[in-house]
Amino acid sequence: MSDASRKFLIGLLLLLGAGATVGWFYDHAVWGLLAAALVALAWQVRQLLSFDKALRTGNFDDFRYGEGIWEQIFARFRFERDRAARRKQNYRVLLREVRKSTNAMPDGAVILDANNEIINCNRAAKELAGLKRKKDRGQRVDNILRDPGLMHLLHSEDYTSTIEIMSPVNDNGWLNCRVVPYGADQKLLLLRDVTERIRLRKMRRDFVANASHELRSPLTVISGYLDAIADDEDMPESWAKPVSQMKKQAARMQLILAELLELSRLESAGPAKSDQPVDVLGLLESTTEALGGHADVARVVIDAESSAKLQGSSTEIETVIVNLLSNAIRYTPAGGDVTVSWRTGADGADLIVADTGEGIDAEHIPRLTERFFRVDKGRSRDDGGVGLGLAIVKHILARHDAELIVTSEAGAGSVFRCHFPVERIAVEPPIPLAGGG
């Protein structure tokens, strides 16, 4: 118990004692006690009412708290009030600092609630995406930034992927979007201006496409003359080898140009369109027939677990199969096995080409789909490899929302798995009932 509380109780007891004593002198001790209690109560009620008034009006100057417990209560109250005011001020300064720093960020940040409605955004988000802090508060962000990819990203709870969308405020602008979880059930949509990066990517793509295109015509002329020289019966004997070498290299250059042009086409076109569902199993059979079955190459077996069709481009899927199968055959010795499989299930579809060939060291696997990457450059070149096959495969798969997963062990063989999402599996139309009508 504090000193003030003790003093208060002692004072109260003394007052009640004095009242009782005075009453006792007049033979009415109880009345005396009662009168003293009433005096004590009246004083406390007065203090209480005046404290209540001071609280309501905020004017504490008129509040006469006297000494003792009321003084202590008031001192405590004043201390807490000042502390709360100090805290509020600190928070205000902190908030101002946070707002200043988020506004200074070059990237846009939009705070979203669980329904993707805008809670707040920084200045960069306003500039990059044309958001208005007050007007757009409470609006769904996918109603303002209308892009199917962004809608998918917001609903997928995928916090690692990023997508690129066209800027809603600048015709030639591009924004990179990423979603990260934030607080309880909130999300932060981060926007970055990638216009320059996209422009450079397009420039590089256009340059490669134009250069390949321009080189094709002179190369056709050179190849034509080389063919004519090779066919010329008067050609000196000593020219035979160099001419044959030149023809081989010219053919190789034509192959490189054709593959570079194919890559450019794949890069610049949108998602693969499908007119008719692709008969993957049929393509596996025809490709196996064309590439396998030779005496000096590995045995190719088809493991068909499904006959389901795929939504996509038939020619592109055929390119994938040809590239993977020809690689498997090239990198597997004649006694080895190559297995091509087609499986579909609840989690999607898999096109798998597995071989028991030379395999690939783990360190090289992440680089396989880079342009011109070859584990053994000399060896691949001698085999006619260009190093663009898997880059083409990767692009085609991306256009089909699919991914390439490579597992391999040096000396033991490799597995190239193309995984397609379940949405890409074509739904068979129902078989009409016989005799129905």
Contacting residues toward ligand ADP, per CB under 6 A: 323, 327-328, 331, 355, 357-358, 360, 368, 373-376, 380, 385-391, 414
| Shortest reach from residue 376's CB to ligand ADP, in Å | 6
Q: Which two tokens mark 95?
A: 């908030």
Q: Which two tokens mark 412?
A: 């033991």
**108 versus 385: smaller Cβ distance to ligand ADP:** 385
Q: Are 341 and 350 in contact (CB under 8 A)?
A: yes
| Shortest reach from residue 403's CB to ligand ADP, in Å | 16
| Shortest reach from residue 418's CB to ligand ADP, in Å | 13
| Shortest reach from residue 399's CB to ligand ADP, in Å | 17
Task: HSE, CB side, 13 Å, CA atoms: give it for residue 112.
Answer: 25
**192 versus 371: smaller Cβ distance to ligand ADP:** 371
The Cα 427–Cα 423 span in angstroms is: 9
**226 versus 386: smaller Cβ distance to ligand ADP:** 386
| Shortest reach from residue 420's CB to ligand ADP, in Å | 20
Distance (Å) of CA 73 to CA 1, 69, 79, 81, 416: 14, 6, 10, 12, 78
**323 versus 341: smaller Cβ distance to ligand ADP:** 323
**16 versus 393: smaller Cβ distance to ligand ADP:** 393
Residue 81's identity, in one-letter code, is: R
| Shortest reach from residue 339's CB to ligand ADP, in Å | 12
**47 versus 327: smaller Cβ distance to ligand ADP:** 327
**166 versus 365: smaller Cβ distance to ligand ADP:** 365
| Shortest reach from residue 260's CB to ligand ADP, in Å | 13
Between helix 3-25 and helix 69-104 the angle, nearest 10°, is 150
Phi and psi torsions of 166, nearest 5°? -75, 140
408 - beta bridge partners?
414
